[in-house]
Amino acid sequence: MRTFRHVPVALAAALVVAAAATACGDGGAALMAQNPHPATGTVTLTAPAPDTPLTATEWTVDSLLGGATVASLPAGAAGRARFTIAADGAVSGSLGCNRFRAPVTVSGASLTVGPLTTTRMACEGGPGEVERTLTGLFGSGPLGWRIRDRTLTLSAPDGTGLTARAAPAAG
């Protein structure tokens, strides 16, 4: 959503008249030419700020995305996969079973995770499934990201991805 600030009434009126002129053809142009008071002002547009920062927040994976579907985590995996993106360009945490660390590059609404360094425990069942899915997702190339209502969504161009909730704020 964009925020508009410092929009004088004259500017708003001029925008309405311009819209009417566009809809009315030549007659609208005559109306515009008769306005002796040109509108001036400043319009400031700001992008929405995420309600939770991408970096320095612990994110706990709560669902996996597969195209148009959203799936809960398998049994035994809830709360186990979590990660933090540091301001120094690293991501670290747990893939559900093994700990990991990797370089990460954030550019606008895209992030790219580099090669993962992980511990090597054998992972079975739900935590193993989540680990394999996250390892594939993080290695798939640039991921789009967005944060809304303390929920991070990471998505690959093929529609796969994850949602993760921010850890409660300390306080």
Is residue 75 domain-resident? yes
| For residues 24-46, average pLDDT | 47
Q: How many CB atoms lie within 10 A of CB 34?
A: 7
Q: How far apart are CA 130 and CA 136, in angstroms?
A: 10
Claim to verify: residue 87 and residue 148 sit in the same structural domain: yes
Claim to verify: residue 40 and residue 91 sit in the same structural domain: no
Q: How far apart are CA 28 and CA 35, in angstroms?
A: 11
Q: Give the pLDDT score at 171.
A: 54
Q: 46, 38 in Cβ contact below 8 A?
A: no
| For residues 65-84, average pLDDT | 94
Claim to verify: residue 82 and residue 149 sit in the same structural domain: yes
| For residues 93-102, average pLDDT | 97
* 44 class by beta-carbon count within 10 Å (0-12 exposed, 13-18 middle, 19+ buried): exposed
- What lies within 8 Å, CB to CB, of 141 at 6+ separation is 112, 156, 157
| Least confident window among 48-57, 59-68, 71-80 | 48-57
Query: How many domains, the chain?
Result: 2
pTM of the full predicted structure? 0.69
Is residue 171 domain-resident? no
Instruction: Return the HEC string of 13-35.
Output: HHHHHHHHHHHHCHHHHHHHHCC
* 55 class by beta-carbon count within 10 Å (0-12 exposed, 13-18 middle, 19+ buried): middle
Considering the chain, what is the average pLDDT of its residues?
Answer: 80
Share of the chain above pLDDT 70, in %: 69
Claim to verify: residue 72 and residue 121 sit in the same structural domain: yes
Most confident of 2-11, 16-25, 70-79: 70-79
Is residue 69 domain-resident? yes
Claim to verify: residue 115 and residue 64 sit in the same structural domain: yes
Place 40 in a pLDDT band, splitting at 50, 70 and 90: low
Which residue in 8, 13, 50 sits closest to 31, CA to CA?
A: 13
Q: Give the pLDDT score at 38.
A: 54
Claim to verify: residue 136 and residue 62 sit in the same structural domain: yes
Q: Give the pLDDT score at 24.
A: 41
CATH code of the domain in which 120 resides: 2.40.128.270
Q: Give the pLDDT score at 17.
A: 37
Claim to verify: residue 88 and residue 159 sit in the same structural domain: yes
pLDDT digits (tens, 9 = 90+) for 108-146: 999 999 999 999 999 999 999 999 999 999 999 999 999
- Give me the domain span that covers residue 97: 58-166
Claim to verify: residue 84 and residue 146 sit in the same structural domain: yes
Place 43 in a pLDDT band, splitting at 50, 70 and 90: low
Claim to verify: residue 43 and residue 98 sit in the same structural domain: no
